[in-house]
């Protein structure tokens, strides 16, 4: 499975057929936005209501890479998916837990690219000493044109389990949505854990 080992926009391994996964760089911002914008503007998968600018996305990539992995999948010279980790909460006692994010272009759904990206993200997080992954997944109580439930099913296939809910906490498209917190262990908690190491591509 792909492992992110390059820091300068160079390939690091195979993702889905015809794609490879590497560490992101700020120059990927426009391509990442091409993947992300349809989710912002046409779905409730993200609670962001307006797509960020290219400059804001560049800043987000740079901030994330100061400590955590940010990976992209590239196919035919184009970004077709991305994933990254960030702090669950700012206080130091949370250091061994991260929140994960993943988005895949609509053309690549069902190809295995999402699994390859998440596997690569986990491979990057384990050497840091990260023990637990959390994903914040939006859901609706019934059929909804802006939310299909595919994200929750994907995370369940990846080994995440639902550990909590926040009911009707986000409003988008004139309706209210809830979120589920999903959790996955990738390490074993110890009484006196070693400090987390920053991501080192």
- Looking at per-residue pLDDT, the higher value among 15 and 152 belongs to 152
Q: Record the tokens describing residue 76, joined without a space.
A: 């035919």
Give the model confidence (pLDDT) of 128-158 as tens digits. Answer: 999 999 999 999 988 999 999 999 999 999 9
Give the model confidence (pLDDT) of 88-122 as tens digits. Answer: 999 999 999 999 999 999 999 888 999 999 999 99
User: What is the arrangement of strands in the sheet containing 132-139, beginning at the earlier edge strand?
Assistant: 19-23, 70-75, 78-87, 97-104, 132-139, 175-185, 161-172
In this structure, are residues 108 and 75 in contact, taking their beta carbons and an 8 Å threshold? yes
| pLDDT value at 11 more than 80 | no
Give the model confidence (pLDDT) of 54-87 as tens digits. Answer: 999 999 999 999 999 999 999 999 999 999 999 9
Q: What is the DSSP string of 74-135?
A: EETTEEEEEEEEEESSSSGGGTTEEEEEEEE-GGGTTTTHHHHHHHHHHHHHGGGT--EEEE
| 3-state SS class at 192 | coil
Q: Which residue has the tokens 């069902």?
A: 110
Q: What is the pTM assigned to this prediction? A: 0.91
| 3-state SS class at 8 | coil
Q: Which residue has the tokens 């986000």?
A: 170
Domains of the chain: 19-185 (3.40.630.30)
Give the model confidence (pLDDT) of 21-64 as tens digits. Answer: 999 999 999 999 999 999 999 999 999 999 999 999 999 999 99
């Amino acid at each position: 499975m792909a492992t992110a080992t390059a820091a300068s926009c160079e390939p690091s391994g195979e993702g889905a057929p015809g794609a490879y996964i590497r560490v992101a760089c700020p120059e990927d911002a426009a391509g990442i936005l091409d993947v992300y914008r349809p989710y912002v503007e046409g779905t409730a998968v993200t609670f962001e209501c307006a797509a960020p600018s290219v400059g804001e996305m560049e800043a987000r990539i740079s901030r994330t890479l100061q400590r955590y992995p940010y990976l992209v999948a590239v196919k035919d010279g184009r970004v077709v998916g991305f994933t990254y980790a960030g702090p669950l909460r700012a206080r130091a006692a949370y250091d061994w837990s991260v929140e994960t994010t993943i988005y895949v272009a609509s053309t690549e759904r069902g190809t295995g690219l999402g699994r390859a990206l998440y596997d690569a993200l986990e491979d990057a997080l384990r050497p840091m000493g990260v023990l637990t992954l959390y994903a914040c997944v939006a859901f609706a109580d019934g059929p909804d044109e802006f939310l299909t439930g595919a994200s929750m099913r994907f995370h369940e296939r990846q080994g995440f389990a639902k550990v909590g809910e926040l009911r009707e906490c986000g409003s988008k498209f004139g309706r209210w949505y809830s979120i589920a917190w999903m959790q996955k262990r990738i390490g074993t908690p110890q009484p006196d854990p070693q400090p987390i190491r920053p991501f080192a591509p």
